[in-house]
Chains A and B, each alone.
Chain A
Amino acid sequence: MSALDHPQVESSLEGFLKKVRPRLKTLFAHYRIPPQDTEDILQQALLALIYHREGVRDPEAWLLGTLRNKCLLYWREQRRRLYDAVDAAVLEFMAEPLEPAQESADLQRDLINALERLPERCRSLLSLRYRQGYDPPELAQRLGYSPASISKITTRCLAALTRNLLALGKKKGGA
C-alpha cells in the first residue's frame, strides 16, 4: 500500500457511523457476540476513537481492528469465567461429604473418567488439585513448575477439562 492510498477521513462523526454501521453488524454477528453484550464493547471502542481521533489516520480500519480484538477478549473473558465456575463446582463437590455413599462413589468415578480424557500433564495437576487438595504453590513445587507459571498452567488445564465437559472438539473431529 502506498502513502497515496490512505483513505480519506469522514468529516462528521454521524457520517462515519452511518458508513461503518453495516460492517459493525456483520462483525458482531461473525464473532457471535450476544446483542446485549455488544453495547459496552462498541461504546468503549467508539469513545477511544473520539479521544484518539487526531492520531488515527484510517478510523474505519482502526475501529474494526479494535473491535475484532475486543470480541476475542470478550470470549476469552467468558471462557475464563466458565473455567472458574467449573473449578469452583468440582472443588466444592470434593470438599463436602456426600450422602449416600453411592453418590460420592459416582462423583469420584465421573471425575476420574473426565480426567482420564485429558493430557497427562493436566491429569496429574488436576488430580492433585481435586483429589489431594493441593493449592497452587504446592502444585508448583510437586510438579516442578515455577510459582509464577502455575496459575497459567492451571488455567490451561481447567480449559481442557471444561472443553471436555462441553464436548468441544467432538464436533470438529467428528467423534
Chain B
Amino acid sequence: MTVPHPNPEALERFVLGQLSPAEMREIARHLLTGCPGCQEVTAGLWEPEDVFEDPQTLTLPAEEEYDEVLDRVFENVVATEARVEHQRALGRKLYDELMQCPAERRQLLLTNSRRFRNRMLCERLVEESYEAGFEDPRLAIEVAHLAVLAADRLEAGDCDGEEILTGLRAKAWAHLGNAYRINSDLASSEQAYAVTESLLSESRIPLIERARVLSLLASGRKAQQRFAEALQIFDRAAAIYKKLGQWNLLGRTFLQKALVCDEAGDDEEEMKFLRRALDLIDPQSDPRIFLAARHNLIHALYERGRVREAFALLYNTRPLYLKAGDRMNLLRLRWLEGLVAFGLQRIDQAEAALREVREAFVDLGLGYDAALASLDLASVYILQGRTADVRRVAEETLTIFQSHNTHREALAALLVFSSAARLDRAGIDLVREVSSFLKRARNNPELRFSAVS
C-alpha cells in the first residue's frame, strides 16, 4: 500500500496530538507501515522521560521564545495577588462570623448561604481545625466537620480548577480523620481517612497538598499501630517535600517518623530522626514544631535513663514552652518537669508538678491523660512508701477514667492496679507495666492486658 508521507510539521503535530481525528488516523496508518524516513523524524520529536536528565542530547527551544508568555502570565498573576489577599481577608471574616453563631446554625449557613461558599473560608476552617487540635481537641472535630461541609459545597470554578478543589476536599477529610485520631476515636478516624484515600487515588491533586494529606494519613496508620505502613507513607511525603525544597516540612516529617519509631520500640532510629528533624526545623518560623521535637527528645532521654541530659535540655527549652504559651504545651512542660524531677529524686517537686498536671487533665475532660499522669504520681508515692496515697490515687483514677473512657482493656489494667493498691501490693514495676500498656493501648483497643508483676 502506498500512503503519502506526512510532512515533518504534520508529524510533529501528530506527536503533540494536535491534529483532527481523521488526520491522526491517516498518519497512524502510515506509521504502521514502519516507514523509516518518517520514523527518523518522529524519533527526534518524542523523547522518553529519562532524556530530560541529559539536556545536552536534545535540541532545546530557545529561551527567548518564552518571554512573551512569561510577560503575560506575570502581569496576570500580579493583578491577581490583590484579589487573593481580598479573598483571604474575606475568608477570615466569614470564619469569625460563622464561629460566632450557635453550633447548629453553622451547618445551616454553610449548606444554604451562597456567601459562605468560599474557598478561603474552607482553607481557614482546615487550618483552625488543625490549631484546635493543640488546645481543644473536641473543637477540632467540629471545625473539621465544617471544613468538610464547606469543601463539599465548593465547585471547581470557586477554586481555579478541579485539581485544587479535590486537593482541598482531601485535606478537609484528612483533617477530620486527624481530629478524630487526636480524640482517640479511631473508628471514625478510619472512616474519614478512607474518603481521603479514595480522593488521593482517584484524582490528581497539587503536590504540596498531597504531601500534607499523606502525612496525616501516616499519622493515622501510626495510631493504628501499622508502623511499617506509616513509615512508608511518611517517606512518600518526605520525597515530595525534598522535590519542592521545603526543608522545614521535611524536618516535620522526620519528627513524625521519630514518633513512629518510638511507638515501634526502635529507640536508635527515634533519636536519629529527632536530631535530623531539629537540624531542619527553623525555630524562628516554626517554634511550635521545633518545641515538639525538643520535647520528644527530652522525653526520649528521660525514658532511656539519661536524666541529667534530659534536665539540661529541658532547662534550655523551658523559654520555648513559655513562649508558646498554650495550655496543652504548658501542661506538657509541667508533666516533663515532674518526670525529670522524679528521675533526679527531687520528690517534692515531682509530686507538685504531677498533681497539677493530673488535675488540669481532669478539668479538660482528658481522662486518658489524667490516668497516665496519675500513674506517674502513684510512682512518686510508692517510692516514698505512702500506701494510703497510692490507694487514693488508684481509686480516683478509676473513677475519672470510667467517666470519660470506654476502653475496656485499659480499664482492666487500671482495675488490676487498683486491686493491688487496695492490698498495698502495688509496686513500681506494676505501675510501669500498666502505664506502658495504657500508652500502647490508647490507639489499639484490640490489645489485651495481662499483668506480669
Contact = CB atoms under 8 A, between A and B. Distances in A.
Interface of A: 1-4, 6, 13-14, 17, 21-22, 24-26, 28-32, 34-36, 38-39, 42-44, 46-48, 50-52, 55-58, 60-62, 64-66, 68-69, 72-73, 75, 78-79, 81-82, 85-86, 88-90, 92-93, 102-103, 106-107, 110-111, 113-114, 163, 165-172
Given A42-B69, A168-B42, 9 more contacts: A17-B77, A21-B74, A32-B47, A35-B65, A43-B76, A65-B244, A78-B17, A88-B21, A170-B43
Contact of B61 (A32, A60, A75, A172): A32
A158 to B, nearest CB: 12
Nearest to B60: A29
A102 B160 CA distance: 53
Contacts of A102: 1
14 contacts: A13-B81, A24-B70, A38-B69, A57-B249, A58-B245, A60-B245, A78-B17, A85-B17, A165-B28, A165-B31, A166-B45, A166-B46, A168-B46, A168-B48
A166 B32 contact: no
B203 interface: no
B160 A21 contact: no
Given A29-B63, A89-B28, A75 B49 contact: yes
Given A65-B244, A66-B207, A85 B55 contact: no
Given A51-B84, A88-B21, A171-B43, A69 B243 contact: yes
B245 A62 contact: yes
Nearest to A29: B60
Nearest to A85: B24
Contact of B73 (A39, A64, A92): A39
A44 B161 contact: yes
Range, interface on chain B: 35 or more
B412 interface: no
B283 interface: yes
A114 B52 contact: no
Contacts of A30: 52, 55, 60
Contact of A170 (B21, B39, B70, B78): B39
A38 B63 CA distance: 12
A143 B31 CA distance: 28
Interface string B234-276: 0000000001111111010000000000000000000000000
Contact of B80 (A50, A55, A171): A50
A107 B32 contact: yes
B423 interface: no
B246 A58 contact: yes
Contacts of B84: 47, 50-51
B77 A48 contact: no
B43 A58 contact: no
A22 B306 CA distance: 52
A13 B74 CA distance: 9
The 3 A-B pairs of least Cβ separation, nearest first, read A61-B245, A167-B39, A65-B244
A82 B15 contact: yes
